[in-house]
Structure 1
Amino acid sequence: MSGLYRATERLMGMSDRVWARHASPWSVYSRFTILPLLALAVWSRVWIGAWAWGAVTAVLLWTWVNPRAFPPPASLDSWASRGVLGERVFLNRRDEVPGHHRVWGAMLSAGALPGAVVMAWGLWALDAAWAVFGTLLTMIPKIWFVDRMVWVYADWLRKTGKELGDV
Structure 2
Amino acid sequence: MTVERKIANTFHMDEETWARHANPWSVWTRFTVLPILILAIWSRVWLGWGSLAPIAIALLWMWINPRIFAKPQSTHHWASKGVLGERVWLNRDTVPVPLHHQQVPNVLSLVSVIGMVAVVWGLVTLDGCLTPLGCALVYLSKLWFIDRMVWLYEDMKQAHSQYQSWLY
What TM-score, normalized by structure 2, do the two folds share? Answer: 0.90
Q: 1:3 matched to which residue of 2?
A: 2
CA offset at residue 128 of structure 1? 1.4
Matched length: 165
Q: SS of 1:14's equivalent?
A: coil
Matches within 5 A, 1:18-29: 18-29=17-28
Paired position in structure 2 for 1:56: 55
Shift of 1:18: 0.5
SS at match of 1:96: coil
- Aligned pairs for 1:70-149 (under 5 A) are 70-94=69-93, 95-149=95-149
Distance 1:24 1:71 in 2: 7
1:151 aligns to what? 151
Give the AA of the match of 1:117: V
Structure having the higher helix fraction is 1
- For residues 77-127 of structure 1, the C-alpha deviation after alignment (integer angstroms, 9 at most, x for no partner) is 110000011111111244331122121111111111221121122211212
Q: Partners of 2:96 and 2:3 in 1: how far apart?
A: 19
TM-score (norm 1): 0.91
Residue 66 (structure 2) aligns with: 67
Determine the C-alpha separation between the residues in 1 that align with 2:159 and 2:88: 12
Task: Tell me the distance in 2 between the aligned counterparts of 1:9 and 1:158.
Answer: 24
C-alpha distance in structure 1 between counterparts of 2:159 and 2:65, whole Å: 31
Q: Distance in 1 between matches of 2:145 and 2:39?
A: 24
CA contact (8 A) 2:5 2:91 kept: no
Superposition CA RMSD, Å: 1.8
CA distance in structure 2 between the partners assigned to 1:11 and 1:158 by the alignment: 29
Q: 1:165 maps to which residue?
A: 166
Paired with 1:118 and 1:160, the residues of 2 have a C-alpha distance of 39
Asked whether the 8 Å contact 1:96–1:156 carries over to 2, the reply is no
% identical equivalent positions: 44
In the alignment, structure 1 segments of 5+ residues that lack a partner are: none
Partner secondary structure for residue 86 of structure 2: helix
Equivalent-residue separation in structure 1 for 2:39 and 2:99 (angstroms): 37
